Amino acid sequence: MSAARIAVVGAGISGLAAAHRLRTLLGPAAEIVVLEQRDRTGGVLHTVELAGMPFDVGAEAFLARRPEVPALLDELGLADRSVHPTGASPSIRAGGRTVGLPPGTMMGVPTSRARLDDVLSPAGLAAVAAEPERPLAWEPGTDVSLGGLLRERFGPEVPERLADPLLGGVYAGRVDALGLRATVPALAAALDAGASSLTAAATSASPPPAGRGPAAGSGSTGPVFGGIRGGYRVLLDALGSASAATVRFGTTVRSLERRGAGWRLVLGATTRPEALDVDAVVLAVPAPAVRKLLTGLVPAAASAAGEVELASSVVVALAYRPAEAAALPPTSGVLIAADEPLSIKAATHSSNKWAHLGADGLVRLRVSTGRFGEAATLQVDDDELVARARVDLATLHGITAAPVEAVVQRWGGGLPQYAVGHLDRVRRIEQAVAAVPGLAVAGSALHGVGVPACVATARAAAERIAAVVQVTAPESNGS
């Protein structure tokens, strides 16, 4: 029996984590080839130099209370690179004012502990107060638009001033287009369990405030988020090195086909195609690419993947001299309500939020713009995007000086949209792929767009492949 040969399509965090896990499971003899269309690893994770300091212009943090990323950092010898945010608190721009992010909501859904006076109008407050007394008709197991549900129960201000800015930062999508079950599953579970109102469901699904309830003092608290000193490229480089995979950049996978007990990938230009024969394949690519590669091979999975839409966005990173950003408040950032007349959807005060990003004395910020369905608004040059960011920063914080440096990162189709029925789509993809030996899928289109969720899908995909090739790897197919 020859050593197994596995192709991983996609060199984002999911693809590299899958390659690393495959190496751990299969040992040094396995041949692992990672195929990446771009000229770098990372996918929608990207670290640039901003005024001489590594700075993430994709995801900047991970959920520290999930185990995947801390465990991976520890496994790679990078535990000392893990950092946590400062105590700076977030704010929100709503009703023409910037105020502290109100406590007592579950991703913007009010609980009985919510204090919303600074964010909602008197009419909005009255709608929230009345909701628990209104009859609730809920069919357990159903999925609905989160925005639609919030509008029906609370009126327009809760989705536009609370839920949309909170979830828009996660999915680059409008809350009206997001499905309840995939985005706030605990809320759906509370409704299924018989909650009498949406407020009651959010209250029962939310953890008690610090210092109360059975979790207080139990060690379940701690930093919610983590980051990596030096940026995500530290993790990406370490995964690439530890996987000992051959990474081929600038390589387009045009088609995938069965060949005996293995697979053939057709690579490169249509005029000069190249065949790569392997024993197994991990697809760690966006949903449209999954659809393209599996059409005809696994039609049920291709059909479901084709239903997942993508959102485009832009991150503008800016660095300032301290005196020129003296008006910046000491907050970690500001979320922007959907009904505010601003072009950006959020600003992160990075050097306030992460101590190491201001260690040289400069002030670093990042603003994001673009939501699902707004791609046309991003079709301007970089200078215009920077100008828009500066106008909004002047409105929000009174910062009018030119930055020391600005970096624009465009994310065309960067984030999958978890629309109504998303969990059913994922089930259809995974069930169909599970019936095909030697094939697995991973990535942000499945069980979460955050880095921990992507790593979890990568590990699961690698373990599925390893279980098959360890038993059935044939003699070399050749190439």
pLDDT tens digits, one per residue of 117-126: 999 999 999 9
Of the candidate ranges 329-338, 351-360, 365-374, 406-415, the one whose mean pLDDT is the lowest: 365-374
CB 398 within 8 A of CB 320: no
Secondary structure element (H or E) that encloses residue 446, with its range: none
How many separate helices (H) and strands (E) can be counted in the chain? 16, 22
Percent of the chain past pLDDT 90, that is, above it, reads: 87
pLDDT of residue 473: 47
Could you give the strand order of the β-sheet that contains 225-228, starting from the edge strand earlier in sequence? 62-63, 225-228, 82-83
Burial class (CB in 10 A: 0-12, 13-18, 19+), 339: middle
Burial class (CB in 10 A: 0-12, 13-18, 19+), 80: exposed
What average pLDDT does this structure show over 230-251? 98
pTM of the shown model:
0.93
Checking if the pLDDT of 349 tops 80, the result is yes
Do 478 and 320 meet the contact criterion of CB atoms below 8 Å apart?
Answer: no
Q: How many CB atoms lie within 10 A of CB 257?
A: 12
The mean pLDDT of the chain is: 93
Is a pLDDT exceeding 60 seen at residue 210? no
Identity (one letter) of the amino acid at 44? V
Residue 292 C-alpha from the chain's centroid: 22
Say what the alpha-carbon torsion angle 446, 452, 457, 458 is, to the nearest 10 degrees: 130
Instruction: List the structure tokens of 62.
Output: 């991970």
Rounded mean pLDDT, 410-428: 95
pLDDT confidence bin for 471, thresholds 50/70/90: low
Work out the average pLDDT over 20-30.
97
Residue 220 has pLDDT above 80, yes or no: no
3-state secondary structure of 194: coil
SS3 state of residue 182: helix
The pLDDT assigned to 269 comes to 86
- 34 pLDDT more than 80: yes
How many residues would you count in the chain? Answer: 479
Which of the pair, 168 or 158, is modelled with greater confidence?
158
Taking the mean position of all CA atoms in its chain, how far away is CA 199?
Answer: 27
Mean pLDDT (whole number) for 89-93: 97
For residue 288 the two structure tokens come to: 């449209």
Compute the distance between CA of residue 275 and CA of residue 193 in angstroms, rounded to an integer: 53
CA distances to 19, 156, 470 from 283, rounded to whole Å, are 11, 40, 19
Q: What is the mean pLDDT of residues 363-378?
A: 89
Residue 3 confidence (pLDDT) above 90: no
The alpha carbon dihedral of 289, 290, 291, 297 has a sign of positive
Query: In what helix (H) or strand (E) does residue 106 lie, and over which residues does it extend?
Result: strand 105-106
Mean pLDDT of 357-361: 97
Residue 99: helix, strand or coil by DSSP?
Answer: strand
Q: How confident is the model at residue 274 (pLDDT cuts 50, 70, 90)?
A: very high
Burial-class residue 294 by CB neighbours within 10 Å (0-12, 13-18, 19+).
buried
pLDDT at 1: 53
395-404 residue pLDDT tens: 999 999 999 9
What pLDDT shows up at residue 219?
A: 40
Q: Region 169-186: what's the mean pLDDT? A: 92
In terms of DSSP bridges, do strands 62-63 and 274-278 run parallel, antiparallel, or are they unpaired? unpaired
Is the per-residue pLDDT at 173 higher than 90? no
Contact criterion met (CB below 8 Å) for 404 and 360: no
Has residue 475 got a pLDDT over 70? no
Average pLDDT value for residue range 432-440: 97
Question: What is the number of other CB atoms lying within 10 angstroms of the CB of residue 3?
Answer: 14
> How confident is the model over 195-214, as a mean pLDDT?
79
Token pair for 376: 């046309």
Question: Is residue 412 over pLDDT 60?
Answer: yes
Q: What is the mean pLDDT of residues 461-477?
A: 75
pLDDT at site 209? 65
Give the Cα separation of 7 and 143 in Å (integer). Answer: 36
Dist. CA 133–CA 119, nearest whole Å: 22
pLDDT for 378: 86
What's the whole-number mean pLDDT along residues 159-182?
A: 92
Tell me the backbone φ, ψ of residue 141, rounded to 5 degrees.
90, -10
307 vs 374 pLDDT, higher one: 307
Q: Is the pLDDT of residue 319 over 70?
A: yes
Nearest alpha-carbon partner for 395 in 344, 451, 443 = 344
> Which range, of 53-62, 152-161, 263-272, 349-358, averages the lowest pLDDT?
263-272
Q: Count Cβ atoms within 10 A of the Cβ of residue 135 and give its class: 0-12 exposed, 13-18 middle, 19 or more buried.
A: exposed
What pLDDT is stored for residue 479 in this prediction? 40
Please state, in angstroms and rounded to a whole number, the distance separating the CA atoms of residues 363 and 385: 20
User: Across residues 472-476, what is the average pLDDT?
Assistant: 46
Residues 354/365, Cβ–Cβ less than 8 Å: no
Angle at 101 between CA 100 and CA 104, to 5 degrees: 125
SS3 label, residue 31: strand
